[in-house]
A = this chain, B = another copy of it.
Amino acid sequence: MTNIKKVSELAGVSTATVSRTLKSPEQVTEATRDKVMQAVKQAGYRPNWLASSVKSGKSNSIVVLVPNLTNPFFLRIIGGIEQAAQEKGYSVLLGDTQGDSKRENEYAGMVLSNRADGLIQLDHSFPFAPQDAELADNVPMVSVCERIEGERKYPVIELDNYAASRALAHHLVGYGHQKFAAIVGQISSQIYRERLAGIRSVLQEENLPLPDEMLVGGSYTIEAGIDGVRQLLKQPVRPTAIFCFNDDIAIGAIHEIKKHGLRVPQDISVVGFDNIKVSAFIDPPLTTVDQPAYDMGRRAFEVLSVLMRGESLTRIREILPFQLVERQSSGPAR
Contacts and interface: CB of A to CB of B under 8 A. Distances in A.
A76 B61 CA distance: 23
Given A86-B103, A91-B110, A114-B48, A283 B281 contact: no
Interface in A1-30: 1
A281 B134 CA distance: 46
Chain A contact residues (Cβ within 8 angstroms of B): what range? 35 or more
Taken together, the copies of this chain in the complex come to: 2
Contacts of A281: 222, 251-252, 255
A278 interface: yes
A331 interface: no
Nearest to A279: B278
Contacts of A79: 69-70, 96
Interface stretch (A52-60, A157-165, A184-192, A209-217): A52-60
A48 B110 CA distance: 10
B78 A94 contact: yes
A57 B2 CA distance: 12
A115 interface: yes
A82 interface: yes
A113 interface: yes
A218 interface: no
A282 interface: yes
Contacts of A255: 281-283
A50 interface: yes
B112 A46 contact: yes
Nearest to A92: B94
Nearest to A252: B281
B91 A93 contact: yes
Interface of A: 1, 44, 46-51, 53-54, 57, 59, 61, 69-70, 72, 75-76, 78-79, 82-83, 86, 91-96, 103, 106, 109-110, 112-115, 134-135, 222, 251-252, 255, 258, 277-278, 281-283
11 contacts: A44-B135, A46-B114, A49-B110, A51-B114, A69-B79, A70-B75, A75-B75, A91-B93, A91-B94, A255-B283, A283-B283
Given A50-B114, A283-B282, A134 B44 contact: yes
A109 B86 CA distance: 13
B72 A76 contact: no
A109 B109 CA distance: 26
Nearest to A253: B281
Contacts of A47: 113
Nearest to A69: B79
Given A75-B69, A277-B222, A49 B113 contact: yes
A78 B44 CA distance: 31
A244 to B, nearest CB: 13
B61 A93 contact: yes
A94 B91 CA distance: 8
Contacts of A48: 54, 113-114
Contact of A70 (B61, B92, B277, B283): B277
